[in-house]
Amino acid sequence: MNVISFKKPTNIFLGLFSFLLAMSLSSTTLQAQEDGEKLFKSYCASCHSPGANQLVGPGLAGVYDKYEREWLYKWIKNSSALIATGDAQAISVYEQYNKVIMPAQPVTNVQIDAILDYLKVYAEAAPVVAVVVPPTVVVEDEGMSGYAIAGIVVLFLILIILLRKVQYIFTAAKAREAGEDMPEETTMTQALGLTISQNKTIFALMGIVCLALFAKGGWDSAFGVGVYQGYEPEQPIKFSHELHAGTNGIDCNYCHNSASYSKSAGIPSPNLCMNCHTYIQEGPQYGKEEIGKIYAALDFDPVTKTYGPNQKPIKWVKVHNLPDHVYFNHSQHVAIGKIACEKCHGPVETYTVGKQYAELTMGWCINCHRETKVQMADNGYYDEIHNRLPEELKKQYLEDGTITVSELGGIECAKCHY
Ligand code: HEC
Ligand code: HEC
Ligand code: HEC
Ligand code: HEC
Ligand code: HEC
Ligand code: HEC
């Protein structure tokens, strides 16, 4: 790059502009490092600690040295596929950890590199104590917003005009000293026009960079808002899925049975809790305190086992919140699509507090619709439709099973947006 001299006032802009550009670029690299942590928390932290502790899966400290990078890519992206190829190392890892399948992770090699880099940084920062980092609310960092960029552009333009004026005053003063004719004063727009026409390439470049940043800022703020992956708000009663669905093995459908026949999975009413808690009056961790809150809501007397008139609802805090303009239907996915709750909600039987496992972004829905094949065989929902299909399509749909949700129209805007 040329050494910038400040003789020409416009060179000052160049200097300032390169400085700002450099700033925004360096903040992008910083962001790349943070991404590793974010990705880890989004995809891996529900099962792995970044240190040595075992959660659902083993602690990941040191895996970057323990295995070949290529092997890690394959393992993380689809461990069961790797095991199926007969890969000895994969089989041994699988057997070592009680044959629990690690689900395929929707991450790219670049994202895996970022995660492994984060694990390294984490291990160096905390070499001895392995702390389990609980996933907290991931509020998307929007970076430099479109508005900030627009502001900078406007400031630049004002600066250009001002510096033109200063330049004019100097030339005018010189002209007067030399006894020459006064130069013509330029108006604001002329000043701007002159600067631009004298530095066409620079301004064209500036324009392109600003547009790109603008587009990125706009895109990020449109699609980044409302991403609350890992969100786990405090609840009015310390209800634990780990204790109920995990330790005591209560089926999801016992409490969320509407998931299989209606749009919403629903939160169970306190009356359902009473099927068991009429008798189970003390818990292992909180004694009578938390279960007592169910009784308070129902105005229930645990001694006489009678209900009073002053009943009030339990105000559970909703964990998952899709925007109003999105249509999502549980039964379509659970009953017809035959997708397990865990696929979208993670290992719920290990949660002590309800939390949001998936991103719940449009990309998340659409990626799955692109990848997932529709389960048509033995699916009552499709029988009637199939009877109307031409023979060759029937073969493709039923025997080959190669139709993805997106091929059936699952990525059409109107399917998900009212
Ligand atoms: C739903 C739980 C779950 C999630 C999410 C998960 N894993 Fe795993 N992972 C496991 C289990 C369980 C094992 C143990 C191996 C087995 O039983 O197949 C494992 C094993 C591993 C291993 C081998 C560790 C060793 O010491 O041999 C690596 C590496 C790994 N996971 C990386 C990741 C990364 C990176 C992510 C996030 C992108 C991730 N996992 C997400 C459950 C999970
Ligand atoms: C004993 C009843 C019970 C069982 C069994 C149960 N849940 Fe729940 N579930 C609840 C209650 C109560 C809440 C609300 C409190 C909370 O969010 O933790 C809840 C909340 C949830 C939420 C978050 C809802 C929101 O606010 O967005 C999900 C997801 C969920 N359960 C999935 C499951 C899955 C999957 C299973 C099976 C592995 C399961 N539940 C088993 C009672 C139950
Ligand atoms: C199918 C039976 C069943 C249902 C339904 C049920 N629970 Fe439980 N609950 C249990 C069992 C079993 C325990 C553990 C008792 C023990 O280990 O001593 C428990 C314990 C608890 C505890 C005590 C936690 C502690 O560590 O002190 C709370 C709080 C609780 N349940 C809340 C609820 C709520 C709220 C509902 C309704 C949404 C509910 N339960 C529905 C079976 C049930
Ligand atoms: C294809 C992904 C997917 C599957 C499979 C799935 N859910 Fe959900 N679940 C969601 C989404 C998305 C939301 C948020 C819905 C909203 O805000 O309107 C949600 C919300 C919930 C809620 C909060 C209450 C509600 O209805 O909004 C509960 C409870 C729940 N799911 C339980 C379950 C259970 C139990 C299963 C398995 C029987 C299950 N889910 C299967 C994606 C899924
Ligand atoms: C884990 C994979 C998965 C995820 C995640 C998922 N879906 Fe689906 N979705 C399916 C499958 C499989 C079907 C097809 C079910 C069937 O056979 O009708 C489907 C079908 C649908 C349909 C009906 C499409 C049609 O052509 O009739 C809608 C609408 C839909 N999904 C909305 C959503 C929304 C909104 C989200 C995100 C909040 C979402 N889905 C996330 C797997 C998924
Ligand atoms: C499979 C379901 C699905 C399909 C198909 C889909 N969307 Fe979305 N869309 C979503 C979900 C879920 C969100 C909410 C994402 C969030 O809150 O982060 C969303 C959000 C959006 C938003 C952002 C609004 C906001 O609140 O920030 C726009 C714009 C949008 N969709 C447009 C489209 C267009 C255009 C199409 C067709 C090309 C389309 N969508 C198809 C599920 C879908």
pLDDT tens track for 351-408: 988 888 888 888 899 889 888 887 776 776 766 666 666 776 767 666 666 778 887 7
pLDDT score for 34: 63
Q: What is the pLDDT of residue 237?
A: 94
Cα maximum dimension of the chain = 110
| Mean pLDDT lowest among 103-117, 139-153, 325-339, 350-364 | 139-153
Q: Report, as an integer, the average pLDDT of 144-155.
A: 64
Work out the average pLDDT over 291-302.
93
Degrees to nearest 5, angle at CA 275 with 274 and 281: 55
236 vs 315: CA distance, rounded Å? 7
CB of 206 shorter than 6 A to ligand 5 = no
Q: Sorting pLDDT into bands at 50, 70 and 90, what band is 178? A: confident
Average pLDDT over residues 120-130: 65
Per-residue pLDDT at 180 exceeds 80: no
Instruction: Give me the CATH code for the 25-125 domain, please.
Output: 1.10.760.10
Nearest CA to ligand 6 atom 19: 362
* Residue spans in the chain of domains classed CATH 1.10.760.10: 25-125
CA distances from 205 to 24, 272, 405 (A): 15, 65, 43
Note whether 160 and 125 are within 8 A (CB): no
Q: Are 376 and 382 in contact (CB under 8 A)?
A: yes
Residue 40, classed as helix, strand or coil, is: helix
Ligand 5 atom 11: residue of nearest CA: 337
pLDDT tens figures, 247-278: 888 899 999 989 988 899 989 999 899 988 98
Which residues surround ligand 3 with Cβ inside 6 Å?
A: 237-239, 243-244, 248, 250, 268, 272-273, 275-277, 280, 283-286, 290-291, 294
| Ligand 1 mean position, distance from CA 52 (Å) | 13
pLDDT at 6: 40
Determine whether the shortest distance from the Cβ of 373 to ligand 6 is under 6 A. Answer: no
Q: Which pLDDT score, from 0 to 100, does residue 165 have?
A: 77
More confident residue, 165 or 392: 165
Higher per-residue pLDDT: 410 or 329:
329
Tokens found for residue 77? 């992206």
Say if ligand 6 is within 6 A of residue 413 CB.
yes
pLDDT at 130 over 60: no
Cβ contacts of 236 within 8 Å, gap of 6 or more: 293, 314, 315, 316, 317
Q: What is the DSSP letter of 399?
A: I
CA of 166 to the centre of ligand 3 (A): 77
Listed range (77-86, 128-137, 378-387) with the worst mean pLDDT:
128-137
Minimum CA distance residue for ligand 6 atom 6: 413
> Does the beta carbon of 369 lie inside 6 Å of ligand 6?
yes
pLDDT the model gives residue 25:
43
Q: What average pLDDT does range 323-337 have in this prediction?
A: 91
Q: Are 110 and 66 in contact (CB under 8 A)?
A: no
Looking at the DSSP bridge assignments, the partners of residue 283 are 287
What are the pLDDT digits (tens) for 213-251?
A: 666 555 544 444 455 677 888 899 999 999 999 988 889
pLDDT of residue 150 exceeding 70, the answer is no
Residue with the larger pLDDT of the pair 185 and 38 = 38
Answer yes or no: is pLDDT of 128 > 50: no
Nearest residue to 165 via CA among 190, 198, 182? 190
Cα of 58 to ligand 1 centre, how many Å?
7
pLDDT band at 53 (very low <50, low <70, confident <90, very high): confident
Mean pLDDT of the chain: 77
Task: Calculate mean pLDDT across residues 297-323.
Answer: 90
Residue 336 pLDDT > 90, yes or no? no
Share of the chain above pLDDT 70, in %: 72
pLDDT at 418: 75
Please compute the mean of the pLDDT values over residues 68-92 and round it to a whole number.
92
pTM for the whole thing? 0.61
